[in-house]
Amino acid sequence: MQVAESCSVCQSLILAEVTRVGDLLDYDRGDWLDPLTLTWRSALSRPHTPRRVLQEVKATLPPAARVYLDRVLLKGTPRPPSTPGPPDLLIGPLPRRPNRPLHPFTASRLHELQPVRFQTAPRKHLYTFVLHTLHALTLVSRPDTKWRDLLPPLEGEQPRWASLYSTLVPRPVGDISWRLLHGAVSRGTYLARFNPIPDTCPFCGVWETLAHVYLECARLQLLFRLLSNLLLRFWLHFSPHLFIYALPVRGLTKSRDLLVNLLLALAKTAIYKTRERRLADGVSCDCGAVFRSSVHSRIRAEFLWAASTDSLDAFEEWWVLSEALCSVSPSGSLCFDPLIGGESKGPQPQPLLLWAPLP
Ligand SMILES: [Zn+2]
């Protein structure tokens, strides 16, 4: 057989409740099933495949079986009860006690996964299930993020994994935030175990830990001051917790929350890229300037697109919130706020929040 062995054809046949040769017989007509009937029952668009299946099955039957089936059809044996479909197979985690202590915020999601019907389980669910089963013993004693120890969440706070990606955040930028929250970004103290490289910060020479690279290094303080000022315009206080764990996206403040998460993600990307560049070329880039430039170019690109597609209203709805980053003049031109590189119209506001490194 060829056609009848294909996975998709098998699936269609199971849908049509055809799991044995007897299911291909039409006892009322005393003949084999009409290919059109089989087409309809298996939700196929054309009778070509059912016709081939019938031909293949008939050709595969031994002569004695053909004779027997013809006799059954001729005598008009009453229709046997229809074959029940394949039994439901449920797949789910096998409860067992881990031999290592369970971390209160374990990275393992095995305990959350409910048994699902194997035949219809979404591919993503099966992938997660297999992954978490194979690595159950490792994941169960590991926290979901390294920052739980480095920067214990305050009351009511938790890592906002879902906020790291959105329609505003480009995938590679979201990936850096995601890796940072997992602690899966390179840093001197880790790489020095495998390569003959210094385990100190390439900017200030301090022992380079994860917290140093993304929170404590002196070079970041101007960037954080800039973020503090920007976030105040959205009535938010910048904090290391907000920076690492991201802002939850809530219905009423959705536009603001998405925009703030984009700013946080671009800031992390600026830190990541300037450090990579320093290690590669020895060039010292101001991460605040890189951040401003990326915000600037993103807004300009969005504005040009909106202007060319006559959708400036939608642009203003997303990007001109509280005029914190930019505004559109009555003549239709884009004006940036001085904080992100626009022309200053008066004295620069003094920062209201000063960043203090972690103790
Ligand atoms: Zn440093």
Ligand 1 geometric centre to CA of 220 (Å): 8
Centroid of ligand 1 to alpha carbon of 95 (angstroms):
46
- Measured in Å, residue 279 CA sits from the centre of ligand 1 at 12
Query: How much distance in Å is there from the Cα of 339 to the middle of ligand 1?
Result: 24
How far, in Å, is the centroid of ligand 1 from the Cα of 214? 9
Interval between CA 211 and ligand 1 midpoint (Å): 10
What's the gap in Å between 206 CA and the centre of ligand 1?
A: 6
Distance 153 CA to ligand 1 centre (A): 24
- Ligand 1 center from residue 338 Cα (angstroms): 27
The model's pLDDT over 247-303, given as tens digits with 9 standing for 90+, comes to 999 888 898 999 999 999 999 999 999 998 888 888 888 899 999 999 999 999 999
Sorted by sequence, the CB contacts under 8 Å of residue 320 that are 6+ apart come out as 326, 327, 328
What residue spans define the domains of the chain?
3-75, 90-144, 149-340
CA–centroid distance, residue 215 to ligand 1 (Å):
9
Q: For residue 292, report the distance from its CA to the centre of ligand 1, in Å.
A: 20
Q: Indicate the range of 11-15, 126-130, 241-245 predicted with least confidence.
A: 11-15
207: CA distance to ligand 1 center in Å?
A: 8
212 alpha carbon – ligand 1 mean position (Å): 6
Q: What is the mean pLDDT of residues 174-188?
A: 88
Q: How far is the CA of 275 from the centre of ligand 1 (A)?
A: 10
Predicted local confidence at residue 180, as pLDDT: 93
Q: How far is the CA of 257 from the centre of ligand 1 (A)?
A: 30
Percent of the chain with pLDDT over 90: 26
Are 50 and 40 in contact by the 8 Å Cβ rule? The answer is no
CA of 160 to the centre of ligand 1 (A): 27
Question: Cβ atoms within 10 A of the Cβ of 176, count?
Answer: 19
> pTM above 0.75?
no
Q: How far is the CA of 216 from the centre of ligand 1 (A)?
A: 7
CA of 236 to the centre of ligand 1 (A): 27
**Ligand 1 centroid to 218 CA: how many Å?**
6
Report yes or no: 339 and 229 within 8 Å, Cβ to Cβ: yes
| Rounded distance from Cα 288 to ligand 1 centre (Å) | 15
Q: How many angstroms does the Cα of residue 221 sit away from the middle of ligand 1?
A: 11
Residue 295 contacts residue 325 (beta carbons within 8 Å): yes
Higher-confidence residue of 194 and 4: namely 194
From ligand 1's centre to the CA of 217, what distance in Å? 4
pLDDT band at 196 (very low <50, low <70, confident <90, very high): confident
Distance (Å) from CA 254 to ligand 1 centroid = 35
pLDDT band at residue 352 under the 50/70/90 scheme: very low
Give pLDDT tens digits for 209-244. 889 999 999 999 999 999 999 999 899 999 999 999
